[in-house]
Structure 1
Amino acid sequence: MTQRLPPSLTPLDTALAALLEAVDPVAPVDLPLAEAAGCIAAGMPLLPAYPPRDIAAVDGWALRANDLVGASSYSPVPLTELPAWVDAGDAMPAGCDCVLDVGAVEVSGPLAQVLAEGVPGQGVGRSGGDIAEDSLAAAAGYPVGAAALLLARVAGYDRLSVRRPRLRIVNVPGATATMQMIAGLACGAGLDVSAHEVGSRDVASIAEALDASACELLLTIGGTGVGRADAVVAALVQRGAQLSHGVALQPGRTAASGRLGKVPVVALPGSPAQALAVWFALVLPLIDRLAARQPRCAVTLPLARKVASSVGIAEIALLSGEHKTWMPLAVGEWPLRAIAGADAWLLIPASHEGFAAGEPVDAYLMRE
């Protein structure tokens, strides 16, 4: 059955520009490390040097390398006093600059002799060797990942300053799987997500759930078509939203976008493929603006085969990485198997007829 479309389609660039207009980054918040994961770093504190002093990196005998010149099992070097034993992590004793393995020193009562040479720094963790003085756990504008959390924990921090926009998702009956997909993507992008299920598809029930008072971004899932049971756009208009219904984007043509008061709102179709395309093309740029994220990195590879597109509507192609090329999996219409097998996505502008085989293209990874 042919899908019924809105009477007009707003160009993707126009819809995105209207969404981003007057949108400012949210204020930073201090979050526990576990909650800061995936959020966009903001105003990271300068970290102290770690370790703060020279420490033993291994268990063994702490000694001075210059005292061990020429030592071997054939020519042991006697020591005037017993050396200090250190466990990994212990501060190095004054005057010692190397740590020898247990078998490198023979101890007999009050006497000790060394059976191997040492070099300065052997078995020693230098001050600042792991974390340099005044370094950053994560650069502002970039996601807080596992490495940043490790540095913060080692440095003794239990909270980080991040930007975490609040997202409210309103889901109409019949689009639960799509809602769960979008909620998972939003959580992975570092948003504070609250999801709400509407009990009925009628205008009044949907309108009642459209509360934008405690969020910086409102998404609806499902009910954006022009069928008799599609009431989301009417519910948004009833609440006073200023909307453009229909986007020149494939997949995703039945999406709507605009504002409810001062809060940006995007109405995503209930189809997983269409919702995901709108997420890539409209929602991700909006999240990046709200979180003051630095530009996402594209991966440039040549196309394994031609990608054709119709002029007048933007299309998104799903790609898989194969032998240092991008292999097109689906363009415009996406079966679920293509979504599952895709490594990246490519936006083809409305003015473009596509790309030739072998042409380098900039694609964004599905999972960063």
Structure 2
Amino acid sequence: MQQSLNRMVKSIEISGIRKFFNLVANETDIVSLTIGQPDFHTPEHIKNAASHALMQNKTTYTHNAGIIELRKAISEYNEANYSICYNPENEIIVTTGASQALDITFRTILNPNDEVILPGPIYPGYEPLITLAGAKAIHADTTKDNFKLTKEALANHITDKTKCVVLPYPSNPTGASFTKEELCDLVSVLKNKDIFILADEIYSELVYDHKHVSIASFPEVRDKTIVVNGLSKSHAMTGFRIGYLLAPAWLSSHMLKVHQYNVSCASSISQYAALEALTAGQADPALMCESYKKRRDYVYERLVRMGLDVNIPEGAFYFFPKFPIHNMTSFELGLELARKGKVALVPGESFSNLGKGYMRLSYAYDFNTLEKGLDRLEDFLQVQ
């Protein structure tokens, strides 16, 4: 019966991240610097709000787009923090995590044989969704431009098949982010083209040296921009699975249809927790961000001292150092690090072929774990 399966499903694979984890799962005494989730607990007031909603029997279906109170809070939060205005009645959809928001976006806008530009190295969750929609991912190399998509690279990759460009900033795995001036350059290329912009801004609250700027704040491209965001990273709520979409009304009405048939609505209990996060927890992200910045500075100093070629992250909680390897892949290096060095990093090739020679290191860990892992990495490099 296997030959009768959807050929698109058969063509995609489990992510390189998961393959790597499966191979090193049985190794003992490994310090892992791999996980891309906050090491903070969800703030108590948010957990209490979820518990209260449960005890108040708020356990039924909600409006497909989410409870209106949460959509209003999302609207107010984004206007206050990023100067982008979306109508809670018809331009905001609450989703089951940012991942589902990405899925319904691609399924709404893509037709077979369309092309989507991805600035690589890039999080591996986009390309399979593009493939499942029958479209094709086109990777633009950012490794020589501080991991940022330039207007020249963007223009060089646009064809008559280009339907969308993904801007995942701050970036997983590189930590790169955009300034307003850099976004202005991209807007100059896109403003007169019938190309959607998917701005994945899930790390928008974790920016260190300048305030996050959303490309949706540029009026020239607002009507073609979809913003994906959520509470997982900003409020340490990964398990609550709350994301959201911001899109112009003409587009969100079609996205809502896909969302409705996909999940009906996001978890009601999680929605009330998210409402608490966005109304009473606006200071929570800053406390986490301050801690991440201290860890970033410590890890950067250590990696530079080891002689590694590395950019300092502007956001998120990842480093993407380049290793002086010649006759092995990043995947093979990852296995060597795990088995001999007893430290686990994510192979760069998990983030497209443009990640060859790189490894992703997460600093969403306490200082003791970071110090121990970096000590082992340094010892490993000294004997190579």
Q: Same fold (TM over 0.5)?
A: no
Q: 1 or 2 for the larger relative contact order (CA 8 Å, sep ≥6)?
A: 2
Give the structure with the larger strand fraction: 1
Q: TM-score, normalised by structure 1?
A: 0.29
Give the structure with the larger helix fraction: 2
Q: TM-score, normalised by structure 2?
A: 0.28
